[in-house]
Amino acid sequence: MSNYELMVIFTPVLSEEDSKSIQKKFADVIKDNGGTITHENPWGLKSLAYPIQKKTTGMYLVLEFSAPSDLNEKLKIQLNRDENVLRYMVTKLDKHAVAYNARKRGSLNAESKTVEA
C-alpha cells in the first residue's frame, strides 16, 4: 500500500451539512476500496488564485491516506462525476513526506495543547 494526499476544492455554495456529507462520501470511497485515512484536514472556505467556473472561492479539503494503487482510478472517476468538485489533485507521498506530515501534525497538536493549558 502506498501513501497519498488528496486535495479537493468544492463549490462554495454548499451548506454546512452538504459540505460534511460530501467530505464523508469521499472518505467512504477510500475506506470501501481497501484504503485507510491517516489524516483529514478541512481547510474551509478559501479564495482561489483564479476564477473556476465563475467562482472566486472554494471549500478546501485535504485527506492523507494509504491505499492500493488501483484505488486512484476509482477515486478519480467519483471525483469527476461529482458536480460539486471544482478541482482535485492526488499526490503520491514518499517516506520523507509522510514523516514530515507526521512531524507537522505533532507540532501543531503540541501548540494547541499549550494554548489550551
Report the pLDDT value the prediction gives residue 10, as an integer from 0 to 100: 92
Report the pLDDT value the prediction gives residue 1, as an integer from 0 to 100: 82
Question: Cell 486535495 maps to which residue?
Answer: 7
Contact 23, 109 (CB under 8 A): no
pLDDT per residue as tens, the chain (117 positions): 888 999 999 999 888 888 889 889 888 988 988 889 988 888 888 999 999 889 999 999 998 998 888 888 888 998 999 899 999 999 988 888 888 888 887 766 655 454 454
Report the pLDDT value the prediction gives residue 57, as an integer from 0 to 100: 92
Q: What are phi and psi of 95, to 5 degrees?
A: -65, -30
> CA–CA separation, 20 vs 29, rounded Å?
14
Domains identified in the chain and CATH numbers: 2-116 (3.30.70.60)
Report the pLDDT value the prediction gives residue 109, as an integer from 0 to 100: 61
Query: 39-47: which pairs have CB atoms within 8 A and are 24 or more residues apart?
Result: 39/63, 39/64, 39/101, 39/105, 40/64, 45/12
Report the pLDDT value the prediction gives residue 89, as an integer from 0 to 100: 93
Report the pLDDT value the prediction gives residue 111, as an integer from 0 to 100: 54
